[in-house]
Structure 1
Amino acid sequence: MKNDTINISKIVKNVSHSSDDSDYAVCWVKDEIKGVEIDGVLYPNISNSIFFLDNKVQWKLYTRDNAVNAGYLLQLSHEILSNPLLSKLHINQVRLFNSGTIPLFKLSPGIEKRTQAILEMIDELLGSHLNNKEDALISLLNTFFVYCDGQCNIKSIIEKNQTKANIVYAFKQLVDKNIVKSHEVGYYASRLNISTKYLNECVQEVLNVSSKSIIIEQLLIRSRHALKFTNRTIKEISYDLGFSTPDYFSYFFKTQTGTNPSVLRRSGSS
């Protein structure tokens, strides 16, 4: 791995990028900054968010006076993003670094600390001489992107025309906000004013998975987190996630994972 394929730096001062620079950028803003200007458009007062910026756009970060560390700026070469482990990620293929769209991810509660930990480990590894350093860096980047794909509330600045990719953006945002209300694809298709068949077609074409699998993935993410990191009972978790009965929740969880919720609960508390 070349030394300039991954660069990471703390956001402590104004930073700019011209379209002549070939690197892609990930801006993780922890503490509020004055704003991010992208192709002449200013998005003010940004905090607890991640921007993914294509190398074709011009952008600038405006920090506040006396900023100590407002977050991290991660710059990635095309070579890194072409790594087989990263290039196959749905988030890379669909949402990241796509000219014409500027994805802004508003971090879900609890994800901020994990995001910071991953970026700090990347920073530490880049300055080290450890064996298998490249594999470790790719693994951390993969974990970072997976978290963004599965656990962030997606608020994207997208084109006005209703392309299939935009419909998928909107679908995933609705699932994140309404998963407790409904686990049915038809509910979300209705909210998007399209047919269930067309929503399935969009998700299959864009992500190469089914619409139902997006809903199931979100339920499993929330289920695992609640079982391992909260004191809520399985009954409480089942109702919190919109299941009609605890028995149905247990059936769903075991069908999808091969494990009973009670088993995961015991492993999380051990």
Structure 2
Amino acid sequence: MKQDYINISQIIKEITPKANKDDYAVCWIKNEVDGIEIDHVLYRNVSNSIFFLDPKLQWKIFKSDGSTSVGYILHLSKEVLNNPILSNLHINKVRLFNSGEVPLFKLSPGIEIRTQAILEMIDELLGSHLNHKDEAILSLLNTFFVYCDGQCNIKSIVSNNNSKTNVVYKFKQLVDQNILENHEVTYYAEKLNISPKYLNECVQEVLSVSSKSIIIEQLLMRSRHALKFSNQSIKEISFELGFSSPDYFSYFFKTHTGVTPSTLRKT
């Protein structure tokens, strides 16, 4: 893989793509910037977002100069995207970079930590002389795209006014903040001052899943992490996640994964 097929840089200051550049750009904005301008339209409030930018687009990231990085710009050539490891991904099949719109992903809370780790590893590998680094970089890109296309994330298009997307994003923020105490859709709908029916309508339209499934997915994600990476007992995990009893937690986990918590812990 040639050196110029992939390039990554941190967003530390104002950025404009190089002239005559044919690469596709993936822009991850972790923290708030002054805005991103795409084809002469300025978009604000874009923190914790990933943009997919076609070479045909004119874009610019506005940020006050400073030493603090607020994200990454990943430049990818057509050769990289057509690599067999990446070419069969749904994210490529739907031609995200070539859809006539600017695809945008609002990352679900928690996924941003994994995103940063993946991009940092890509950055480190690109500057190294390790054996098999090309295979490692492609594997990391594959993982990055899988996370982007996961149902935990909010897929949309760049817009200054997308009310249903905003509802879903606020819903997912509330779930992340309150999942340990509240597992019911009704609770989150009340917090958002909307009906459960309308909340579900928004989630279905934006994510093509039910609002309840978002709560379930968040519980499963936290359950798996605790079972794999903590020394807590299954009883402690069940109560920490807000389940009424360890038996109900085990029933819930097996219903949605096909295995019991103790079985997962052993694997």
| Length-normalised TM-score, structure 2 | 0.69
> 1:172, 1:214 within 8 Å by CA — same for their partners in 2?
no
Write the distance in 2 (CA, Å) between the matches of 1:236 and 1:83: 45
Runs of 5+ consecutive residues of structure 2 not aligned to the other structure: 186-195
Match of residue 141 from structure 1: 141
Write the distance in 1 (CA, Å) between the matches of 2:54 and 2:152: 19
CA RMSD of aligned residues (A): 4.5
Match of residue 103 from structure 1: 104
Match of residue 3 from structure 1: 3
Q: Match of 2:66, SS?
A: coil
Does residue 121 of structure 2 align to residue 118 of structure 1?
A: no
Match of residue 224 from structure 1: 224
Match of residue 129 from structure 2: 129
Task: Note the alpha carbon deviations across 1:229-251, whole angstroms, 9 max, x for none.
Answer: 56876467668878786535423
Write the distance in 2 (CA, Å) between the matches of 1:139 and 1:60: 29
Match of residue 71 from structure 2: 71
Match of residue 22 from structure 1: 22
Shift of 1:77: 1.3
Higher mean displacement: 26-35 or 72-81: 26-35
Write the distance in 1 (CA, Å) between the matches of 2:213 and 2:201: 20
> 1:171, 1:192 within 8 Å by CA — same for their partners in 2?
no
Higher mean displacement: 3-12 or 140-149: 140-149
Write the distance in 2 (CA, Å) between the matches of 1:94 and 1:214: 23
The residue type equivalent to 1:138 in the other structure is: L
Shift of 1:33: 1.7
Q: Which has the higher strand share?
A: 1
Match of residue 154 from structure 1: 154
Runs of 5+ consecutive residues of structure 1 not aligned to the other structure: 160-166, 183-187, 205-210
Write the distance in 1 (CA, Å) between the matches of 2:239 and 2:72: 38
Task: Note the alpha carbon deviations across 1:189-212, whole angstroms, 9 max, x for none.
Answer: 975659xxxx7xx969xxxxxx99
Higher mean displacement: 14-23 or 52-61: 14-23
Match of residue 53 from structure 1: 53
Residues 53/238 of structure 1: CA separation in 2 closer, same or farther (3 Å cut) = farther
Higher mean displacement: 22-31 or 1-10: 22-31
Write the distance in 1 (CA, Å) between the matches of 2:200 and 2:31: 34
> 2:49, 2:104 within 8 Å by CA — same for their partners in 1?
no
Write the distance in 2 (CA, Å) between the matches of 1:174 and 1:82: 36
Shift of 1:67: 3.9
Task: Note the alpha carbon deviations across 1:53-87, whole angstroms, 9 max, x for none.
Answer: 22332211111122442221101112212222222
Match of residue 189 from structure 2: none
Paired residues for 1:135-214 under 5 Å:
135-150=135-150, 153-154=153-154, 156-157=156-157, 180-181=183-184, 191=199
Write the distance in 2 (CA, Å) between the matches of 1:95 and 1:215: 29
Write the distance in 1 (CA, Å) between the matches of 2:47 and 2:62: 12
How many residues align structurally?
251
| Length-normalised TM-score, structure 1 | 0.68
Shift of 1:135: 0.9
Shift of 1:136: 0.5
The residue type equivalent to 2:127 in the other structure is: G
Task: Note the alpha carbon deviations across 1:239-268, whole angstroms, 9 max, x for none.
Answer: 88787865354235335545421344577x
Match of residue 40 from structure 2: 40
The residue type equivalent to 2:55 in the other structure is: N
Match of residue 253 from structure 1: 253
Match of residue 84 from structure 1: 84
